[in-house]
Amino acid sequence: METLSSLLFLLLTVHSVSALKCYVCASGTSNQECIKNTQDCQAPLDTCMTTVGTLGSVTAIVKTCSYSKLCTSAAASASVESNGDGVQVTCCNSHLCNYSGAASVTLHRWLMVLPLLLITLLFRQNT
């Protein structure tokens, strides 16, 4: 009987572990575009990361699963000038926490890769 009680106790206290779920978007021009797709982050990816690059009236948004340390480093290095130009990185770690983003604007092709280049450069500096 004691074994059955112990087993029942374990079943009641064990929580199912599920992967972190983030919104993902490779190169959106609006937040509405970037909240259409979700992804289960595979371990060890433990953070939802949103990168918003702005240059004048042009904005590019990237949402992805990331490593906490990489996201935090990118967020600390990102900056936005007083006129609004620059790159902003936000990190969060709860399901679908990277919901918000930028308003719809026109996107130039070369700017789509700007956030990805920044992330790559930051990653290379940390390794």
Domains of the chain: 19-126 (2.10.60.10)
| pLDDT tens digits, 105-123 | 333 434 455 666 677 777 7
| pLDDT tens digits, 1-12 | 454 444 334 434
Of the candidates 84, 89, 28, the residue with the CA atom closest to the CA atom of residue 56: 84
Q: Residue 107 has what pLDDT?
A: 38
75: exposed, middle or buried (Cβ count in 10 Å: 0-12, 13-18, 19+)? middle
pLDDT over 50 at 125, yes or no:
yes
Angle between helices 68-77 and 114-126 (to 10 degrees): 110
Residue type present at position 39? Q
Q: Is 118 helix (H, G, I), strand (E, B) or coil?
A: helix
Q: Is 66 helix (H, G, I), strand (E, B) or coil?
A: strand
pLDDT over 80 at 47, yes or no:
yes
Quote the pTM value.
0.65
Place of tokens 């490593």: 67
For residue 34, the cross-strand partners are: none
Place of tokens 């789509």: 112
Lowest mean per-residue pLDDT among 51-55, 81-85, 99-103, 107-111: 107-111
Going by pLDDT thresholds of 50, 70 and 90, the confidence category of residue 100 is confident
Of the candidates 42, 127, 57, 121, the residue with the CA atom closest to the CA atom of residue 89: 121
| pLDDT tens digits, 86-95 | 999 999 999 9
Q: Residue 124 has what pLDDT?
A: 73
CB atoms within 10 A of CB 71: 26
Q: Residue 2 has what pLDDT?
A: 55
Question: Region 42-49: what's the mean pLDDT?
Answer: 94
**What is the radius of gyration, based on Cα positions, of the chain?**
19
Taking the C-alpha atoms of residue 94 and residue 117, their distance in angstroms, rounded to an integer, is: 26
Residues of the chain with pLDDT > 70, as a percent, come to 69
